[in-house]
Amino acid sequence: MVRVGDEVSNRQVIFRDYVIGSPKGSDMYLTTGTIKLKVPEGSNAVLVKNLYLSCDPLMQFFMRKSEGPNGYLYYTPGSAIFLRCSKSVGFRTSRI
């Protein structure tokens, strides 16, 4: 049984580069690292375990490279994508 502070295996699906059009399997690779089951003391953070991976078609917008004065950067190819969860009702799927 794992406990707070334990280090566990952490699988990640990583994009090789910015995506043009719909993402394909060849645009991604699977890697395994480790993560410590602990959040910073005094923070409001919550560490969750993903049960499903879903690529919504809208995510294509966030996987493109944008340039210019109104450019945005949601992720860096070769790095994990970290997202904040919405507090909207019906936004998440979970099992407790």
pLDDT one-digit tens code per residue, 40-73: 889 888 887 777 777 677 777 777 777 666 555 6
What is the CATH code for 1-96? 3.90.180.10
pLDDT of residue 18: 85
Q: Which helix (H) or strand (E) holds 69?
A: none
Strands 7-15 and 28-36: antiparallel
Distant-in-sequence, close-in-space partners of 74: CB < 8 Å, separation ≥ 6: 62, 63, 81
CA nearest neighbour of 35 among 45, 22, 26:
45
- The residue ranking higher by pLDDT, 95 or 61, is 61
